[in-house]
Amino acid sequence: MSSQTRRDFLKHTTAAATTFAAGCATPPTADRLAKRGPLIVSTWGFGKPANELALKVLQSGGSTLDAVEQGVRLVESSGNTSVGLSGLPNAAGVVQLDACIMNGPGHQAGSVAGVEGVVHPISAARLVMEKTPHVMLVGPGAHWFAKQNGLEVRDSQVDEASYRAWLAKQKKPAPGKGDKPENHDTIALLILDADGNIAAGCSTSGWGGKVPGRVGDSPIIGGGVYVDNEIGAAGATGLGENVMRYCASYQVVENMRHGMSPTEACAEAIRRIARTDPQGMDLAINFIAINKRGEFGAAGTQANFPYSVTTPDFSEVRKGQPLSSANQKEGGNER
Ligand code: SD4
């Protein structure tokens, strides 16, 4: 082993040992994971019922992907104003949805972007992963594919009324400040199962009032979600333009590979982006992460980023590490 490699090895094992000492009392063997049961982490307070449903799916014998899909579907049909067809429409008054799913074993992924009229885009993303040789389908092709595969679809109707109601509530941006989305959130949901395998998914209607055809970070593998079955998983919520240019969920997972705890990995990805981005900490982005040891964490540029954590022992909403004092309203539940 060269001295550089040895130094790296020592650095990483020391960092991992420190992380481990903070989070667990005994080595994370498969047994221990099995006894501990699954860990489910998702964005926002509205992730908690999704986590709890995902746990039930696992406990009743469903697969980890079933659990991700069912958890996300719950939010997609909950009337949430940032996820599913109840989400805010684009500038043409049409709701366009983004979603993706990733499976740790086999490093598989599927995604749909800018899709209209599909009630459960997370299910369409899973079908892309499982039934096609592709990773991503967009727009009318994604709608056609979902319909062909028996998913529930609706005519994509221009929703002028809800668009106008939303538009009337928007504050005019201060000159030079640009346009900031007021109500935009994503369900990103990560699972470490009792066998130590990882899967994740996310779904959103994206930026309310966006230019038609705009795609955010959520359906981009490594942007909205990333899974590495040897290391862990990460998911993003916030302004996708500030996530996708940096492959930020991928960065979070790579930070964990180099020995950082999930919380530190999220915080470091944000600091790294803020160092090079002209917006600094005004990025409006938040991350959640889990690692293979069953540790979890979150960090955000907003002071009060809530995320939900569920295991067989507890289910609660926690606050991510704040990297600025900016308060951003939790969207997704209001008209
Ligand atoms: C997007 N990242 O489309 C999504 C929206 C979101 O909190 O998560 N906002 O940019």
One digit per residue, pLDDT tens: the chain, 335 residues?
A: 343 333 433 344 444 434 433 333 344 445 545 567 899 999 999 999 999 999 999 999 999 999 999 999 999 999 998 999 999 889 888 999 999 999 999 999 999 999 999 999 999 999 999 999 999 999 999 999 999 999 999 986 676 776 777 677 666 544 434 444 445 689 999 999 999 999 999 999 999 889 999 999 999 999 999 999 999 999 999 999 999 999 999 999 999 999 999 999 999 999 999 999 998 998 999 999 999 999 999 999 988 899 999 999 999 999 999 998 776 555 544 33
Report helix, strand or coil for 301: strand
- Scanning 60-138, the segments in alpha helix (DSSP H) are 64-76, 121-131
> What is the C-alpha to C-alpha distance for residues 111 and 122, in angstroms, rounded to an integer?
8
Amino acid at 203: S
> What is the C-alpha to C-alpha distance for residues 23 and 12, in angstroms, rounded to an integer?
16
Tokens for 23? Answer: 């989070």
pLDDT value of position 4? 37
| 310 bridge partner residues | 40, 315
| 192 bridge partner residues | 39, 198
For residue 186, indicate whether it is catalytic: yes
pLDDT value of position 115? 98
- The whole model's pTM is what? 0.86
pLDDT value of position 302? 81
Spacing, Cα 190 to ligand 1 middle (Å): 17
- Scanning the chain, the segments in alpha helix (DSSP H) are 3-23, 30-36, 47-59, 64-76, 121-131, 139-148, 160-169, 241-244, 248-257, 262-276
Spacing, Cα 59 to ligand 1 middle (Å): 30
- Ligand 1 mutation pick, 96, 217, 305, max ligand atoms within 8 A of CB: 217
Burial pattern 44-68, b for ≥16 Cβ within 10 A else e, equals bbbbbbbbbbbbebbeeeeebbbbb
Task: Determine which residue's CA is closest to atom 3 belonging to ligand 1.
Answer: 206
Comparing CA positions, the residue from 293, 239, 238 lying closest to residue 262 is: 293
> What is the C-alpha to C-alpha distance for residues 257 and 36, in angstroms, rounded to an integer?
22
Main-chain dihedrals φ then ψ at residue 186, nearest 5 degrees = -135, 145
SS3 sequence of 155-221 = CCCCCHHHHHHHHHHCCCCCCCCCCCCCCCCCEEEEEECCCCCEEEEEEECCCCCCCCCCCCCCCCE
| 144 bridge partner residues | none
Comparing CA positions, the residue from 211, 210, 200 lying closest to residue 234 is: 200
pLDDT value of position 19? 40
pLDDT value of position 334? 38
pLDDT value of position 37? 87
pLDDT value of position 156? 67
CA dihedral 299, 309, 192, 261 (to 10 degrees): 30
pLDDT value of position 33? 56
Structural domains of the chain in order of their starting residue, each with its CATH number? 37-322 (3.60.20.30)
Q: CA-based Rg of the chain, rounded to a whole angstrom?
A: 19
The answer to whether 103 and 65 are in contact (CB under 8 A) is yes
Give the number of the atom of ligand 1 that is nearest the alpha carbon of residue 181. Answer: 9
Tokens 């950082």 correspond to what residue? 260
**Residue 90 near ligand 1, beta carbon < 6 Å:** no
**Residue 328 near ligand 1, beta carbon < 6 Å:** no
Spacing, Cα 90 to ligand 1 middle (Å): 13
Instruction: Give 233's contacts (C-beta < 8 A, 6+ positions apart).
Output: 102, 104, 190, 192, 198, 199, 200, 225, 226, 227, 253, 289, 290
Catalytic residue among 19, 186, 237, 301: 186
